[in-house]
Structure 1
Amino acid sequence: MMLNLMAKGMIEVKAVLKRDFFLYFLLLLPMAYIFIFKYAPIYGVLMAFQDYNIFEGIGGSEWVGFDVFNFIFHQDSFYRALQNTLVLNLLDLAAGFPAPIILAILLNELRYARFKKVTQTILYLPHFLSWVIIGGMVYLMFSSGGMANSVLSRFGLGNIDFLSQKTNWLIMYTAVGVWQSVGWGTIIYLASIIGINKDLYEASDMDGCSRLRKIWHITLPGIKPTIMMLLILQIGRMVSIGFDRPFVMGNSLVSDYSDVISTYVYRIGIGSGDFSQATAVGLFQSVVGLIFLAAANYGAKKIGEQGIW
């Protein structure tokens, strides 16, 4: 009986493979990419537990256990970079996370289709600019001799240190990040809004509901699962931060705020050639990020929301 079931299962598998051969063939490319660039490099994590020598390689370098981590955790510069990473990510979470939600709802409420399309296109454009270009634009606009201060001087107002005063730099960093990403982030929420049952809006029109009531009672509950999923993912990235943005927008006058984990890894890994420390910091980021992700997912389920697994 068991053999018959196994034989029947093999026949069904062969039939499925034969029917969808090209789909499985196309799947090989992304699977190969994930294996080569995501799983294979995990072997390099061993450097975090070695006194890595670039000439000896991983196989020939001396094993030191957790000595590298002990050294890092006694460095004030590491804790400063970690603190700055958390602060900047919290600012992005507070200002950048609700922005695309609000923008998507506003765009959805527009009735003039052509204006809506033009607005969407303009809002998406900053996402396709590199941070090097954006950094140059910000410097030309907001440096001490930039356009913004020139306008302020014409009106008899004093110069504002947008990029060299720490509090102002934090505001600029957050604002520029929101401007760069808000348009692209609305794509997900607009797609989610489109999936809401239109009958609910028609029924609310018959009940005489205002636009604000429809947004509060239909649109927001309809995209709530998407909001929760993206919120969990963003919380999981709280100890990770891109290199380009803080590196391009930072300067020596605000290094106490702009030096984050990614620039710290670049400085000790590429600048000083200490690959063991850089790998250890990267492993620390991954482990803590996984803990944050699991905690956020667990918290979402405890309050009755849908998690990501």
Structure 2
Amino acid sequence: MRNQSKWKRIKGERVLYALLFPTILYFILFRVLPIINMRLAFFQFRSRGSWPFVGWKYFEMIFSSPAFAQILSNTLIISFLKYVLLFPCFVIFALMLNELRSFGFRKYVQVISYLPHFLSWVVIAGIWINSLSLSGSVNQIIGIFGGKAVDFMTDRTKIRWILMICEAWRSLGWDSIIFYTAILAISPTLYEAAQIDGANRMQIITHIILPALVTPMITMFILNLGFFLNAGFDQVFNFSNQAVESTIDILDTYIYRIGIEGGQYSLATAVSLIKGLVGVALVYTTHVVSKRTTGSGVW
């Protein structure tokens, strides 16, 4: 009877399940099946016939490669800039958005800040590369003030910061939505009680708004750590050139180069497996530490 009621409920909501099917299929094809085929990291790939077992061969090749240390260092630095240094900016932007008194102007700022998120990195890279070129708008402004033109896109000392600024421009509005929503969910009675007690605006932010943001901040930060070794393939791939490749070459571009271009599928799978395991370890460790110190985590 219980199974019949379940199938009856599913049949009654078949339209919703039909809408959900493409998403389920996507995760099966691009998330579940790749996990099963991670075993390729321990086998030698052959297009025909069985795959011979090679054990830890490809992991030894990875850690003995002199290029891997530099690539890992680039990945950690770029990820730190994008996932750690940039993280407080999303909270600050949500707070600033909440402080705007004009409803119309607030909506205008929201729309403008959300728009870059819907652009592909190909378009974004084109905009920024043109703006930062020797004849671009940024160097034109520098020239107005008597400065010397700078080729930003070939400067190794600046390219990582450019990646961070571009990521902020693209994600600032979108990634602040969850924090702004948490602010809107705060009960108005708390504000009224604080005003009756004589609290100023800064005290309201410090003692009411920020405590309400602690849980979503912890949750988002822990989830971001799961992608810490990603560092953004699409962005780096589109901003990369021969002058700065050694500075921004990350694990994802390395996997693309040896796997897709070089055809070394087993070696690329081994690197991907290392990435996945490190991501899981970071998420779990941060969750445990957060649970013990603040009482809240991802689950």
1:303 aligns with 2:296: no
1:290 equivalent to 2:280? Answer: yes
CA distance, structure 2, for counterparts of residue 47 and residue 20 of structure 1: 38
Alignment of 1:105-124 (within 5 A): 105-124=95-114
| In the alignment, structure 1 residue 269 sits paired with structure 2 residue 259 | yes
Q: Which residue of 2 aligns with 1:159?
A: 149
Any idea what SS the aligned residue of 2:158 has? helix
Does the CA-based 8 Å contact 1:101-1:189 persist in structure 2?
yes
Which residue number in structure 2 is paired with residue 231 of structure 1? Answer: 221
Cα offsets for 1:254-278 (capped at 9, x unmatched): 2222100011001101111111111
What is the distance in 2 between the residues matched to 1:91 and 1:74?
Answer: 27
> C-alpha root-mean-square deviation of aligned residues, in Å?
1.8
| Conservation of the 8 A alpha-carbon contact between 1:240 and 1:289 | no
* Partner in structure 2 of residue 50 of structure 1: 43
Q: Is the 8 A contact 1:196 1:219 kept in 2?
A: yes
**Distance in structure 1 (CA, Å) of the matches to 2:195 and 2:282:** 42
| Distance change >3 Å, CA 19–CA 129, structure 1 → 2 | closer
What letter matches 2:180 in structure 1? L
Q: d(CA) in 2 for partners of 1:15 and 1:260?
A: 51
Contact 1:161 1:168 in 2 (8 A): no
Stretch moving more, 262-271 or 13-22: 13-22
The match for 2:65 is 75
> Could you say what secondary structure the match of 1:209 adopts?
coil
1:216-266 CA distances to partner (integer Å, 9 max, x unpaired)?
111111121100000111122211232111111122222222100011001
Residue 8 of structure 1 corresponds to: none
Aligned to 2:117: 127
Change (3 A) 1:25 1:64: farther
The equivalent residue for 2:82 is 92
Give 1:169 shift.
1.4
Q: 2:50 aligns with which of 56, 60, 66?
A: 60
Q: CA deviation at 1:25?
A: 6.9
Query: Counterpart of 1:253 in 2: which secondary structure?
Result: coil
- What is the aligned counterpart of 2:190 among 200, 209, 216? 200
How big is the shift at 1:208?
1.6
1:7 paired residue number = none
Secondary structure at the aligned position of 2:244 is classed as helix
CA distance in 2, matches of 1:228, 1:33: 28
2-structure distance, mates of 1:24, 1:211: 50
Question: How far does residue 79 in structure 1 lie from its aligned partner after superposition?
Answer: 1.8
How many residue pairs align between the two structures?
A: 296
Q: CA deviation at 1:13?
A: 5.0
Query: Which AA in structure 2 matches 1:41?
Result: P
1:198–1:159 Cα change, 3 Å: same
**Paired letter, 1:141:** S
Retained in 1: the 8 A contact 2:79–2:231? yes
Q: Taking structure 1 as the reference length, what is the TM-score of the superposition?
A: 0.90
Sequence identity (%) = 35
Answer with 237-246 or 18-27: which moved more.
Answer: 18-27
Q: Given that residues 82 and 231 in structure 2 are in contact (C-alpha distance below 8 angstroms), is that contact kept between their aligned partners in structure 1?
A: no
> Which has more radius of gyration?
1
Matched to 1:110, the amino acid is L
SS at match of 2:153: coil
Task: Map Cα deviations across residues 108-141 of structure 1 (whole Å, 9 max, x no partner).
Answer: 1111111110110000011011111111111111
Cα distance between partner residues in 1 of 2:196 and 2:6 = 49
